[in-house]
Amino acid sequence: MSGVKRVLVVDDEARVVDALGRSLRSERRYWSVTTATSGAQAVELLEAEPFDAILTDMLMPGMDGVELLGWARERRPETLRIVLSGHTGPELALRTLPVAHQFRSKPCNGAELKSTIARGLMFHDLVDDPVLRRAVGHVAALPSPSRTTDRLPALLDDATTPVDTIAGALVEDVAATAKLLQIVNSSFFGLPVAGQAGVSTAVRYLGVECLRAIFLEGGLLLPPAGAAADGAALATLARHSLLVATVARELTSDRSMADAAFAAGLVHAIGRLVLAAELPDDFVSVPEDGDEPPEVRGATVNQLGASLLAMWGLPQPIVEAVARNHMAPLIAGSADGPVVEITDAVYLADVLVRSFDRDRNLPASFQDELVTFGLTDRLPGLEALMARTADGMQDDHALRRVS
Amino acid sequence: MTAERIAPAEPPVRLGHPARDDAASFRALFGGAGTGVVELDDEGRIRRANPRLAEMLAHPEAALAGRALADFVARSQAPGLRSGIAELIAGGAASFDTELRLTSGTATVWVDLSLVSVPGPAAGTTGLVGLVKDVTPAKRLEIERQHGAKMEAVGRLAAGIAHELNTPIQFIGDNVHFLDEAFGGLLALCERLVALSEAAATDPPTADAIRDALDTADLDYLREEVPRAVDQTLDGVDRVARIVKAMKAFGHPEDREQRAFDVNKAIESALTVARNELKYVADVETELGEVPAVRCFPSDVNQVLLNLLLNAAEAIEEHVGSSGRRGVIRVRTWRDGDDAVIEVSDTGPGVPPELRSRIFEPFFTTKEVGKGTGQGLALVHGVVTENHGGSVELVSTPADGATFVVRLPIAGLPTPPEQPCRA
């Protein structure tokens, strides 16, 4: 395929598609824009040829946006699906969430739209294989461990549950955390796009009512399924992810990065969930031996996970941290002392958590990096933190500590 | 219980005598009652008013004598009061009961007036006595209820109007963004050509350099799209202006008096404001005939139109469900003698005969819970009949849906030729 991406713009108002086409014209070297003024016309175009992205209105006479995207999810799952709607509201959000990757409210300026499409399409740089692209694009929800599916409904139904307890339960679940971050970084519920990485903040931002709608009524909380049907692998993954998130947050040298480091840690292994749900034969649980991330169809599980997060519109630093995990750090400190960026923090945390779980012996090759980042003295403290966090997951009363 | 105990134990004459007790009772009642009491002469002028009535009229008792009662009520009600009094004096009726709005004080007071005729002070003359009961609190509640129904419609519309504005704002923004980039590109091209022409004196520009400059400028596309972008932007601005104008027509403050009003224009505004509520369920057909300006309370009539349109849209939505089918809302106007007639029909499920008499009752609704509070049509009925002396009628067959026919007297409610409100 040539380097020019094909973008399909759909709106029943001809003036809107005309103007969107013009507004994207300046990117003509990278994108070619095709327009349709009804869901049926869009389906016809999609049947004839693949597109890289669809940008569609929601309420249209005849086939509406939800139906169009539902069709595209089944038939052209590799196409990035973005809604641009003048209507918002909980009811619409719940119908849209299972079929759309991202949501923007009208009026939305040209610059924001361009950046939304461009960042979403970065998933192409992360996975090239058509089977993988279809798998990632098809994901609506990912399986959660039974610990979450057992507990979350009761917590959300109880009006007296403190917000922090709900946030604490959500961060123990990779799938729910990723969904939450997807929602707050789009305007599904008509709220402004937040560029938000904080899980607790996201929970407050959406409100318990909204969370209940999403996870209980919206059917976006899936029980263990596919390759992870026994649930044990999901529980292991959840525990590993929370430990990495907690350590990564501790390691960032700048508090402003703490939320993003924590979020990136929580979702860093989400590529494995994509495999569990969409390509069960290729599923690999954690922790696997060796420092090289498993590869599937020419992409690492990290790249696969990052490609999902890119499609879902998560903040760029999180996507990057997940994509580059398992790679040698980019920045190795500065003259002023060690600088630990989000990507480094997740990488270092991942290695530390693996060795903590294995035999507490760090790989020899890692000693240099410990020195570079000035971590040698901090090892006992970090080990204690990991132990506390792991214990906390056994103990419901300790949940508040992790939020 | 036995028959003896139910039978009247005392003779009925007890209340009627002796005569001097009558006068004493009347005086006591007149002076201390919480209800207004009035005596009128045969011209409808106040002979005596008790302290409570004087308070309601916001005038000292002494200043009231000789003034026509009709001078103290809302202008629109004065003629009705005058003719009611005249009929009582002429012996055409035993009593006259009416609701009045007293406007002589700083705060409006609503009262129920009940008049009967009595022999006047001079032999052969007739006078009137009456009770004037303050019903302001009850009336306020009713007004609040009506207001609530209006706010319900307004709230729904606000969201719809936001969306109606969103669409043009989206394409206006995109077009201006594009025009900005196009202008930047053309300016860059011009500067490039200026540089080439300056260099041409010494170093003739090659055809290639010029062609290259033209190619990067995307000229063919701009030639085609810039004029269209400008046209569509102007069109979008018109559309926004039209919506804003329609909103202003609706946001018109409550009218205190009747004004000449173009009903057809009001229908256009109502359709603009409600477009978002209608367009997904129905096509709208209008047949607006020659109708002279109607004397009415414009904000009331706007509200009536809006409620009828929303009601039609809801009926159709209920009927077609999520089948993807659409209905038709037809709005027609014409003149019939002294009336302006507005007809709104829908292709909804219609109203079964047994419910037709109840459809204008407050809180009556056939819609599912959460869909309507049953205030809309009650409001239509109240406003049309009470405030305008018009009528509203429902014609419905299950096959054809429902048709509401509103008649408004073109001349409005009668008002006296001169309207002395206060001395």
State the pLDDT at residue A291.
63
Across A301-328, average pLDDT: 89
pLDDT digits (tens, 9 = 90+) for B271-298: 988 888 888 889 999 999 999 999 998 8
Which chain B residue has the Cα nearest residue A107? B170
CA distance linking residue B335 with residue B211, whole number of Å: 68
Under 8 Å CB-to-CB from B303, ≥6 apart: which residues?
A: B150, B153, B379, B383
Of A82, A324, A256, the closest CA to residue A185 belongs to A82
Q: Which residue has the higher pLDDT, B130 or B377?
A: B130
Q: Which residue has the higher pLDDT, A310 or B216?
A: A310
Asked if B171 and A18 come within 8 Å (Cβ–Cβ), the reply is yes
Share of chain A above pLDDT 70, in %: 90
Here the ipTM equals: 0.80
Task: Identify which of A145-159, A221-235, B198-212, B344-358 has the greatest average pLDDT.
Answer: A145-159
* Cβ atoms B394, B403 nearer than 8 A: yes
State the pLDDT at residue B118.
86
Under 8 Å CB-to-CB from B402, ≥6 apart: which residues?
A: B312, B315, B345, B346, B348, B350, B351, B394, B395, B396
Asked if B225 and A108 come within 8 Å (Cβ–Cβ), the reply is no
State the pLDDT at residue B3.
42
Q: Which residue has the higher pLDDT, B395 or B334?
A: B334
CA distance linking residue A312 with residue B347, whole number of Å: 43
Task: Please tell me whether the peptide bond between B298 and the residue prior to it is cis, using omega within 30 degrees of 0.
Answer: no
- Residue A67, chain B, CB below 8 Å: the answer is no
Which chain B residue has the Cα nearest residue A59? B280
Nearest CB to B225 within list A15, A22, A108: A22
Task: Please tell me whether the peptide bond between B398 and the residue prior to it is cis, using omega within 30 degrees of 0.
Answer: no
pLDDT digits (tens, 9 = 90+) for A322-343: 998 766 555 555 555 566 788 8
CA distance linking residue B221 with residue B218, whole number of Å: 6
Give the count of beta carbons closer than 10 Å to the beta carbon of residue B362: 16
Location of structure tokens 């009512």: A209
Identify the residue among B166, B174, B231, B235 best suited for mutation to test binding to A, counting A beta carbons within 10 A and taking the highest.
Answer: B174
State the pLDDT at residue B137.
87
The secondary structure element, H or E, covering residue B318 is helix B298-320
A-chain residues near B173 (CB < 8 A): 19, 107, 109-110
CA distance linking residue B251 with residue B258, whole number of Å: 17
Across B157-173, average pLDDT: 86
pLDDT digits (tens, 9 = 90+) for B92-129: 888 899 888 888 777 888 899 999 988 877 777 888 88
pLDDT digits (tens, 9 = 90+) for B234-262: 999 999 998 888 877 776 666 677 888 99
Asked if A23 and B175 come within 8 Å (Cβ–Cβ), the reply is yes
* Mean pLDDT, chain B, integer: 82
State the pLDDT at residue B150.
67
Is this structure's pTM higher than 0.90? no
Given a cut of 50, whether residue B422 has pLDDT beyond it is: no
Given a cut of 90, whether residue A90 has pLDDT beyond it is: no
Asked if B177 and A62 come within 8 Å (Cβ–Cβ), the reply is no
Nearest CB to B174 within list A20, A62, A87: A20
Across B210-226, average pLDDT: 88
Of B172, B168, B157, the closest CA to residue B240 belongs to B168
A-chain residues near B172 (CB < 8 A): 19
Of B90, B52, B47, B81, the closest CA to residue B66 belongs to B47
Given a cut of 70, whether residue A1 has pLDDT beyond it is: no
pLDDT band at B364 (very low <50, low <70, confident <90, very high): low
Across B402-412, average pLDDT: 92
Given a cut of 50, whether residue B202 has pLDDT beyond it is: yes
Across B217-233, average pLDDT: 93
Structure-derived torsion over alpha carbons of residues A97, A101, A106, A107, reported in degrees to the nearest 10: 150
A207: left (phi over 0), alpha (psi -120 to 50) or beta: left
B-chain residues near A86 (CB < 8 A): 162-163, 166-167, 170
Nearest CB to A106 within list B170, B218, B326: B170
Kindly state the tokens that stand for B21: 């007790």
